[in-house]
């Protein structure tokens, strides 16, 4: 049994991870900027005795520090911390047309938020001489460029560097910092701005949040050392799926782009 904290845990991948941990007997704190989303998440979990919620904006260090304090109080110890909070633009336009406020929000949430959370929880984990931090990657983390995603991809390109740098600093501390790659997940973040062409690709490569959680959680619990990269959608797997694309026709979306499944299941 482990104690887990997940930022951006009120929906999508974060909530799916929380539910999977809880199903294995673990205790989880989830955070979100939205009290409404936290309430909905709480109501969607069967065993609420193992779930705690906390409102926190990861772009505010004071809020993150309070989240760490609260988590330590209710859990006793923090075994796994998952930096999952992330946002993207609703309009994937060329950078010259990007809204300045949108750029700021993406960078502050995805990158600054990850750094803030990591900085806030590290003293606790170092003092425990144990614990794991997982940072969630995304499009662009491998250096591949996709038009219209520059701010988001730039923040995600930095994610593997955090684990690499902290592994050097935390040698012999008992604390591991890792990167987790969920691949292409059918969430609001992915579907924003999508069209029929991209939805055909989603049919081939994407998965429900629950499927991703089933893969990631056991590996998060068992991984040792530091700077490990847990990837759901490897290049080999993606290539095989494209070669057998006929198997995935209308898996999630029909030819008109209509959703055919319940993504919350």
Count CB-CB contacts under 10 A for residue 263.
16
Instruction: Look at the chain and count its residues.
Output: 265
Residues sharing a CB contact under 8 Å with residue 43, sequence separation 6 or more, in sequence order: none
CB neighbourhood size of 223 (10 A) = 16
What DSSP string runs through 76-112?
Answer: SS--EEEE------SS---GGG--HHHHHHHHIIIII
Residue of 52, 116, 149, 152 with catalytic role? 152
Asked about 61 being catalytic, the answer comes back as no
The count of other CB atoms within 10 Å of the CB of residue 83 is 27
Give 253's contacts (C-beta < 8 A, 6+ positions apart).
196, 199, 200, 202, 203, 259, 260
Widest CA span in the chain: 55
- 163 vs 230: CA distance, rounded Å: 12
* Active site residue ranges: 152
């Amino acid at each position: 049994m482990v104690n887990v904290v997940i930022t951006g845990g009120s929906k999508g991948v974060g909530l799916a991870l929380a539910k999977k941990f809880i199903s294995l007997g673990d205790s989880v704190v989830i955070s979100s900027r939205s009290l409404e989303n936290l309430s909905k998440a709480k109501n969607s979990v069967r065993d609420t005795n193992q779930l705690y919620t906390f409102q926190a904006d990861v772009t505010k260090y004071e809020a993150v520090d309070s989240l760490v304090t609260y988590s330590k109080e209710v859990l006793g110890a923090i075994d796994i911390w998952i930096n999952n909070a992330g946002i993207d633009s609703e309009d994937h336009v060329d950078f010259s047309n990007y809204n300045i406020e949108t750029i700021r929000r993406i960078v502050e949430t995805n990158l600054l938020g990850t750094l803030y959370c990591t900085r806030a929880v590290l003293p606790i984990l170092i003092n425990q001489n144990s614990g794991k931090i997982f940072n969630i990657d995304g499009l662009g983390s491998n250096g591949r460029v996709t038009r219209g995603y520059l701010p988001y991809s730039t923040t995600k390109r930095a994610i593997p560097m955090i684990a690499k740098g902290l592994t050097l600093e935390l040698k012999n501390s008992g604390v591991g910092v890792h990167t987790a790659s969920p691949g292409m997940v059918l969430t609001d973040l992915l579907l924003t701005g999508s069209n029929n062409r991209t939805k055909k690709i989603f049919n081939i490569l994407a998965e429900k949040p629950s499927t991703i959680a089933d893969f990631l959680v056991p590996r998060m619990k068992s991984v040792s050392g530091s700077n490990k990269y847990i990837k759901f959608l490897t290049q080999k797997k993606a290539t095989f799926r494209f070669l057998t694309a006929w198997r995935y026709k209308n898996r999630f979306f029909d030819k008109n782009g209509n959703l055919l499944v319940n993504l919350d299941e």
